Structure 1
Amino acid sequence: MPYSHLLAPLDLGHITLKNRVLMGSMHTGLEETGDWNRVAEFYATRARGGVGLMVTGGMAPNREGGVFPGAAGLFSEQDIENHRLVTDRVHQAGGRIAMQILHAGRYAYSKDCVSASAIKSPISPFAPRALDAEGIEVQISAIVTAAQRAQAAGYDGVEVMGSEGYFLNQFLVRHTNTRTDDWGGSYANRMRLPVEVVRRVRAAVGPHFLLIYRISLIDLVPDGSTWDEVVLLARAVEAAGASLLNTGIGWHEARVPTIATSVPRAAFSYLTARLRPEVSIPVITSNRINSPDVAEALLAEGAADMVSMARPFLADPDFVAKAAVGRADLIAPCIACNQACLDHTFSGKLTSCLVNPRACHETVLSYPPTLTPKRVAVVGAGPAGMMAALVAAQRGHQVVLFDRANALGGQLNLARRVPGKEEFDGLVDWFAASISAAKIDLRLGAAAKVADLRGFDEVVIATGVVPRDIALAGQERALSYSDVLRGAPVGRRVAVIGAGGIGFDVAEFLSAGPHLLAKDLAAWRREWGVGDPADVAGGLVQAQPEPAAREVWLLQRKAEKLGRHLGKTTGWIHRAALTMKGVKMIGGVSYLGIDAAGLRIEKDGVQEVLPVDTVVICAGQLPERGLSDQLSAAGIPHHVIGGADVAAELDAKRAIDQGARLAAGL
Structure 2
Amino acid sequence: MHQKYAKLFEPVSIGPVELKNRYAMAPMGPLGLSDSEGGFNQRGIDYYVERARGGTALIITGVTFVDNQVEKHAMPSVPCPTHNSIHFVRTARELTERIHAYDAKIFLQMSAGFGRVTIPTNLGDHPPVAPSPIPHRWLNKTCRPLAKEEIRHIVRMFGIGAVNAKRAGFDGVEIHAVHEGYLLDQFAISFFNQRTDEYGGSLENRLRFAREVVEEIKERCGDDFPVALRYSVKSFIKDWREGGLPGETFEEKGRDVEEGIEAAKLLVSYGYDALDVDVGSYDTWWWSHPPMYMPKGLYIPYAKRVKEAVDVPVICAGRMDNPDLALDAINSGACDIIGLGRPLLADPEYVNKLRAGKRELIRPCLSCHEGCMGRIQEYSALGCAVNPAACREREARLTPALQPKKVMIIGGGVAGCEAARVLKLRGHEPVLYEKGDRLGGNLLAGGVPDFKEDDRALAAWYENVLRDLQVEVKLNTPVTAEMVRQENPDAVIVATGSIPKRIPLGEGKNVFTAKEVLLGEKPAGERTVVVGGGLVGCELALWLAKQGKQVTLVEEMDELLAANGPLCHANSDMLKALIPHHGIKVMTSAKVLRATEKGVLVQADGEEKEIEADTVVLAIGFNPDKTLYEELKHDFAEIHRIGDARRVANIMYAIWDAYEVASTL
Global fold match (TM > 0.5): yes
1:422 paired residue number: 453
Counterpart AA for 2:58 = L
Q: Would you say how many aligned residue pairs link Structure 1 and Structure 2?
A: 628
In structure 2, the residue matched to 1:656 is: 655
How far apart are 1:640 and its partner, in Å? Answer: 1.1
1:466 aligned onto 2:499: yes
Question: Matches of residues 256-295 of structure 1 in structure 2 within 5 Å?
Answer: 257-258=287-288, 259-295=290-326
* CA distance 1:303–1:7, shift in 2 (3 Å): same
Q: CA separation of 1:503/1:193 partners in 2, compared to 1, >3 Å: closer, same or farther?
A: same
Distance 2:72 2:609 in 1: 48
Find 2:535's aligned residue among 501, 505, 509. 501
CA-CA distance at 1:554 after TM superposition: 1.5
Over the matched positions of the two proteins, sequence identity in percent amounts to 29
Asked if 1 retains the 8 angstrom alpha-carbon contact of 2:281 and 2:287, the reply is no
Unaligned runs of 5+ in 2: 238-251
| SS of the residue 1:421 aligns to | helix
Aligned position for 2:563 = 565
- Superposed CA deviations along residues 605-645 of structure 1, whole A, max 9, x for unmatched, are 32222222211112221111222233246557521111111
Does the residue aligned with 1:347 lie in a helix, a strand or coil? helix
The answer for the alignment partner of 2:624 in structure 1 is 623
Q: Is 2:267 aligned against 1:237?
A: yes
- Inter-partner Cα distance in structure 2 for 1:197 and 1:261: 35
Q: What secondary structure does 2:593 align onto?
A: strand
Q: Which amino acid aligns with 2:654?
A: A
Aligned partners of 1:65 and 1:113 also within 8 Å: no
- The 1:94/1:255 distance shift into structure 2, 3 A limit, reads closer
Task: Note if 1:441 corresponds to 2:439.
Answer: no
Alignment partner, residue 143 of structure 1? 158
Give the distance between the partners of 2:254 and 2:544, measured in 1 at CA. 35
Residue in structure 1 matched with residue 197 of structure 2 by the alignment: 181
| d(CA) in 1 for partners of 2:108, 2:508 | 58
> Secondary structure at 1:56's aligned position in 2?
strand
Q: Deviations over 1:454-476 (max 9, x none)?
A: 23212211111112232333365
Match of 1:37 among 38, 42, 53: 42
Structure-1 residue corresponding to 2:242: none
Q: Secondary structure at the match of 2:33?
A: helix
Alignment equivalent of 1:154, drawn from 169, 179, 201:
169
Could you tell me how far 1:134 is from its partner in structure 2? 2.4
Partner of 2:143: 128
Shift of 1:340: 0.7
- 1:30 aligned counterpart, secondary structure: coil
**Cα pair 2:30 2:61 within 8 Å, conserved:** no
More displaced stretch, 589-598 vs 425-434 = 589-598
The aligned amino acid for 1:426 is A
Residue type of the partner of 1:492? Answer: E
Q: What is the rounded CA distance, in whole Å, between the counterparts of 2:587 and 2:195 in structure 1?
A: 44
2-structure distance, mates of 1:275, 1:63: 33
Paired AA for residue 223 in structure 1: K
What whole-Å deviation, never above 9, does each CA across 1:264-317 have from its counterpart, x for those lacking one? 111121121222132222111121111333222211222211111111110001
SS in 2 for 1:463: coil
CA distance in 2, matches of 1:155, 1:335: 31
Report if aligned partners of 2:34, 2:41 keep a CA contact under 8 Å in 1. Answer: no
Structure 1 residues 163 and 406 mapped into 2: Cα distance closer, same or farther (>3 Å)?
Answer: same
Q: Are residue 457 (structure 1) and residue 490 (structure 2) matched?
A: yes
In structure 2, the partner of 1:554 is 553
CA distance in 2, matches of 1:595, 1:12: 67
Secondary structure in 2 aligned to 1:4? Answer: helix
Question: Hey, what does 2:29 align to over in structure 1?
Answer: 27
1:211 to 213, 217, 227: 227
Q: Contact 1:64 / 1:113 at 8 angstroms: preserved in 2?
A: no
| 1:491 alignment partner, one of 521, 525, 528 | 525
Corresponding residue number in structure 1 for 2:280: 250
The one-letter code matched in structure 1 to 2:462 is F
- Deviates most, 93-102 or 16-25: 93-102
Q: CA RMSD in A?
A: 2.1
Superposed CA offset, 1:369-417 (max 9, x none): 2232221221111110111111111112222111111111110001111
What is the distance in 2 between the residues matched to 1:616 and 1:634?
A: 39
Say whether residues 1:592 and 2:593 are aligned partners: yes
Counterpart mapping for 1:318-467 below 5 A? 318-453=349-484, 454-467=487-500
Quick one: which amino acid aligns to residue 568 of structure 2? K
Contact 2:31 2:382 in 1 (8 A): yes
- The answer to whether the 8 A contact 2:601-2:611 is kept is yes
Summarize the Cα distance change of 1:606–1:21 in structure 2 as closer, same or farther, 3 Å threshold.
same
Q: CA 1:619–1:475 in structure 2 vs 1: closer, same or farther (change >3 Å)?
A: farther
TM superposition shift of 1:151? 1.8
Q: Which residue of 2 aligns with 1:89?
A: 98
Question: 2 CA distance for matches of 1:255 and 1:54?
Answer: 24
* Contiguous gaps of at least 5 residues in structure 1: 514-548
Give yes or no for the alignment of 1:119 onto 2:150: no
Quickly say closer, same or farther: Cα 1:369–1:94, change in 2 above 3 A: farther
SS at match of 1:218: coil
Q: Work out the CA distance in 1 between the residues paired with 2:539 and 2:256.
A: 36
> CA-to-partner distance for each residue in 1:69-110, whole Å, 9 max, x for gaps?
333322122233233332233234443211111221222354
Aligned counterpart for 1:194 among listed residues 192, 210, 217: 210
State how far apart, in whole Å, the 2-side matches of 1:199 and 1:355 are: 42
Secondary structure at 1:333's aligned position in 2? coil
Q: For 1:13-68, what per-residue CA distance to the aligned partner results, in whole angstroms no more than 9, with x for missing partners?
A: 53321111110111131234557111111111111111101111111121256695
Distance 1:139 1:443, change over 3 A: same
- Give the aligned partner of residue 241 of structure 2: none
- Which one is further off, 323-332 or 452-461? 452-461
Would you say the 8 A contact 2:592–2:601 is kept in 1?
A: yes
Aligned pair partner of 1:106 in 113, 116, 119: 116
More displaced, 423-432 or 595-604?
595-604
Once the two structures are TM-superposed, the CA of residue 478 in structure 1 deviates from its matched residue by 0.9
